Amino acid sequence: MDKVIVRLPDGMRDRIKAAAERNNRSMNAEIVATLEEKYPAPAIDRAVLGWAIVGLLNMPEGPERDAAIANLNSKLADAGMTMRVKPDEGGKLLIDGTGDSG
């Protein structure tokens, strides 16, 4: 998790605290929930994901495939998904994780 220090204008802390109490959560959870509304994780098209995995399955082992796997895993992480693609010891691709983070 990242840690960020934020300076709030006068009175905002009290407004956040009141909203957190109304929503039965901590101030941190209230701030995160508010930021999630404004800045949602990018969506990933499941069909495009399927085609990307099929493409990886057809790629020969090597640096190009490794780079494509890293790129796909980065996009999955950016979309808030826990799924990752990784090669096993024999070079076969495995899908690790469930998909959605929540």
pLDDT category, 97, cuts 50, 70, 90? confident
pTM of the entire predicted model: 0.54
CB atoms within 10 A of CB 72: 19
List where CATH 1.10.1220 sits in the chain. 1-40
Encoded tokens for 63: 């640096």
Say if domain 1-40 classifies as CATH 3.30.70: no
pLDDT tens, position by position, 28-74: 999 999 998 998 877 777 778 888 888 888 889 899 999 999 999 99
Calculate the alpha carbon distances from 51 to 28, 58, 74, 88, 97 in Å.
38, 11, 16, 20, 18
